[in-house]
Structure 1
Amino acid sequence: MSAVRDVVLASLESWDDVWRRNQHLVTGLLRRDPATRVLFVEPPVDLAHDVVRRATLRPGQGLRPGPGIAGVEPGRLWLYEPTKLLPRRVDPGGDRRRARATARAARRAGLTDPVLWINDPRVAGLLDVTPWPAVYDITDDWVVADRPAAERDRLVRGEMLLLERAAAVTVCSPALLARKEANGPVTLVTNGVDVERYRRPAARPADLPSGPVVLYVGTLHRDRLDVDLCVRVQASLGTSARLVFVGPVALGADDAARLRSAGAVLLGARPFTAVPAYLRHADVLVVPHVVDAFTDSLDPLKLYEYRAARRPVVATPVAGFRDSADSLVRAVPADAFAAAVRSALDGAGRDQGATLPETVTDLPTWDRQAGLFAEVLGEVSLAPRPATRP
């Protein structure tokens, strides 16, 4: 099998301190093969959207060296952040120009014959301006998410193009595998976790409230989070415990205000290196998610991180959690959620000082998953180069 050398990843998220699937897999790829180089393409800075939000205006940062990673030599990770000047309805050619700019950034970074790894169906136009063979890595079923009609149409068109022309398709969850394999061969590469990081003793984070803590870790977004349920949970807890959220706040101002008014604590994003300490010092971990076609497509990182931390977990019956055989995981419907959280808190209180199970043997590591993904990229690097369309 050929080892892949250069990779251009069109990511759904920027590279920051809140690590998600892409950062873990990229790090694994770079550590596995000292000849591999990666250009990590971030979503564009949308200046028109920032004007509407009255946010501070700044252009995209363009091409720049990536941050230092332990075990990876400098110069092997590059980041590229483009700029979107105008809305698509005003500038319909903007996507194509940004795709060409991405190809130029790859050449400037020294990546001459890369494999294209597309995580964002909105940039499917890269297939039209480059001769690079592509892997379409599906991590969320965005075509069933609640989106305005124009945006959903773009997502559907992008996905259909990728399913038709990508040399390989990977998915992160069994639900996505079942949905997408009708279009052709699909490879399942789930998420993972570095279990050892969650077993190390860690001091209680200073910003955690005193007393019992019911914790949620992850991006706060209406696509996933059931805000009404969260408000009811905090109301049910009263002053006996605090519902705490750790993660980027992507909620509207009204939703965030409702949570705070109910008594919940929104700490915001924390570096991925700090997350294990929050999980280990929580009394109960929760997943108060909406249950719908979109959340059913997910392979939540929380499933792996929560289980590695070995704390009691209460989740709505969403993918992963509802099928877990872990004795510490309980999946219940929304109308029984608050009572289940209180019951788990009572149990956690009785177990204070007791030794919870410290190991789980069925969790895939990020190193293993990066190896699986490297195999897919290596196979694609041998695929015939597609013709670039005019």
Structure 2
Amino acid sequence: MKPKMVVFGEDWGRHPSSSQHLIRELSAHFEVVWINSIGLRQPRWQDAARLVSKGVARAPKRCQAPFEVIAPRVWPLAQSSWLQRLNHRQMQRALADVGPVDFVWCALPSAEAYLDLFPGARVIYYCGDDFGGLCGVDHGPVLQAEQRLLQRAEWVFCASEVLARRFDHPAVSVVRHGVDMRLFSHSRPRPKALPKGPVLGYYGSLAPWLDYGLLDTLTTVLPECQLVLIGDNHSCPGALLAKPNVHHLGRLPHDQLAAYAQHFDVALLPFLQTPQIAACDPLKLREYLAAGVPVVGTDFDAARDYACGVQLATTREEFVAMVLMSLISRPSVAEIRMQVLGQGWGDRADQIRGKLQSGRCRLQASTRFTA
């Protein structure tokens, strides 16, 4: 019988996070129950529609993915004692028939509030972000919850060295992000939505951590190049999107991104220098490399491990020059792609399983969930 793992993560299927990739792989070895996001900040009035969609205003929703997914009816990051008690009861009801639990995987520090529902279960903290620098987070309460979680976690897995250095924990390990090699390396036809001419591409949320001034400079200095942006727009200025050589295609399903990435002439990582970026290990970096395209980015720690086809700039002038160099002379697809061989999500999941099974951390008998 597989050991059972309860996972506190973001909303399943909303975006392809590292936890979703890892847990999908681990589900071959664990019976997984996924708990949709319980939030990292107090709701605001503009969140009303999302709260309704998540089930706060109706009965808890259950749906089937590769495993059971539960959307509990809880108030995000409740601070008042009465709301915390209500959340606790609601979570108990949502999980009442889950049964024996061996492991609790916490990808959100706010999961710490519910750990006492799993007496005897072994706690894993998977840290994929610097929650002290992450946008859209109530930093104070979340960092306090993170410290309490660290005291209860038996293992801490971090997505970068920068994140790992934050924690004084006896079992902290770095598990870098992986890549779906099969998806991104399989040759695909050029999408019709891509414009003609040299394509400079970026996909992901158009969020506050992108350097839009840099992109404006790039599209001004290189008017013959076409900037393609794929993702929901949260912060990109309208003046940039209105330029004739800028093309915003909106959000696309993850399984379609490989076809676009393979036909970028240069893939971009135009990040601002923030604590969040300093600690990040963006999934798209390895996906770009698996697609075999050169990458130009602003300088950040996780990208320094890759030399072939990856150039990192510290000024706007350097960034533009590096894009030009990548257009003129680029390594072969095979050379670029070789750098991420052996870095698939299955490899990362095996690394985690090895830690869980080694030495004193061998799998133990199941413990009963208490509802």
1:30 counterpart residue number: 27
1:166 counterpart residue number: 153
Letter of the 2:4 counterpart: D
Select the residue among 278, 296, 301 that pairs with 1:319: 301
Counterparts in 2 of 1:41 and 1:331: CA distance versus 1, 3 Å: same
1:247 counterpart residue number: 231
Counterparts in 2 of 1:235 and 1:375: CA distance versus 1, 3 Å: same
Select the residue among 98, 122, 128 that pairs with 1:139: 128
Select the residue among 92, 113, 122 that pairs with 2:101: 113
2:141 counterpart residue number: 154
1:6 counterpart residue number: 4
**Within 1, Cα distance between the matches of 2:76 and 2:279?**
32
* Contact 1:167-1:383 at 8 Å conserved across structures: no
Letter of the 1:130 counterpart: F
Select the residue among 217, 220, 245 that pairs with 1:232: 217
CA RMSD of aligned residues (A): 3.2
Select the residue among 78, 90, 101 that pairs with 2:90: 101
1:368 counterpart residue number: 347
Counterparts in 2 of 1:225 and 1:380: CA distance versus 1, 3 Å: farther
Shift of 1:95: 4.3
Counterparts in 2 of 1:158 and 1:281: CA distance versus 1, 3 Å: same
Select the residue among 223, 227, 238 that pairs with 1:257: 238
Aligned: 1:16 with 2:13: yes
Counterparts in 2 of 1:242 and 1:218: CA distance versus 1, 3 Å: same
**Within 2, Cα distance between the matches of 1:377 and 1:102?**
26
Shift of 1:315: 0.8
**Within 2, Cα distance between the matches of 1:381 and 1:8?**
15
Aligned: 1:78 with 2:94: no
Aligned: 1:209 with 2:195: yes
Shift of 1:235: 2.2
Shift of 1:296: 1.4
**Within 1, Cα distance between the matches of 2:366 and 2:68?**
26
Counterparts in 2 of 1:244 and 1:94: CA distance versus 1, 3 Å: farther
For the residue of structure 2 that corresponds to 1:23, the secondary structure is: helix
Counterparts in 2 of 1:211 and 1:370: CA distance versus 1, 3 Å: same
Counterparts in 2 of 1:81 and 1:329: CA distance versus 1, 3 Å: same
**Within 2, Cα distance between the matches of 1:126 and 1:86?**
13
1:72 counterpart residue number: none
**Within 1, Cα distance between the matches of 2:52 and 2:219?**
38
Select the residue among 164, 178, 200 that pairs with 1:177: 164
2:36 counterpart residue number: 42
**Within 2, Cα distance between the matches of 1:106 and 1:124?**
16
Post-superposition Cα deviations, 1:200-224, rounded to whole Å, max 9, x if no partner, equal 22111222223221111222221x3
**What is the percent sequence identity of the aligned residues?**
26
Normalised by the size of structure 2, how large is the TM-score?
0.84
Shift of 1:103: 4.0
Structure 1, 201-210 or 371-380: larger mean CA deviation: 371-380
**Within 2, Cα distance between the matches of 1:189 and 1:242?**
35
Shift of 1:117: 0.5
Counterparts in 2 of 1:57 and 1:30: CA distance versus 1, 3 Å: closer
**Within 1, Cα distance between the matches of 2:277 and 2:184?**
25
Post-superposition Cα deviations, 1:177-201, rounded to whole Å, max 9, x if no partner, equal 2222x24320221111132322222
Counterparts in 2 of 1:324 and 1:359: CA distance versus 1, 3 Å: closer
Counterparts in 2 of 1:361 and 1:153: CA distance versus 1, 3 Å: closer
Normalised by the size of structure 1, how large is the TM-score?
0.81
**Within 2, Cα distance between the matches of 1:284 and 1:86?**
40
Counterparts in 2 of 1:116 and 1:195: CA distance versus 1, 3 Å: same
1:126 counterpart residue number: 114
Q: How many residues end up aligned between the 2 structures?
A: 359
* Contact 1:192-1:301 at 8 Å conserved across structures: yes
**Within 2, Cα distance between the matches of 1:96 and 1:375?**
37
Shift of 1:371: 1.6
Structure 1, 370-379 or 293-302: larger mean CA deviation: 370-379
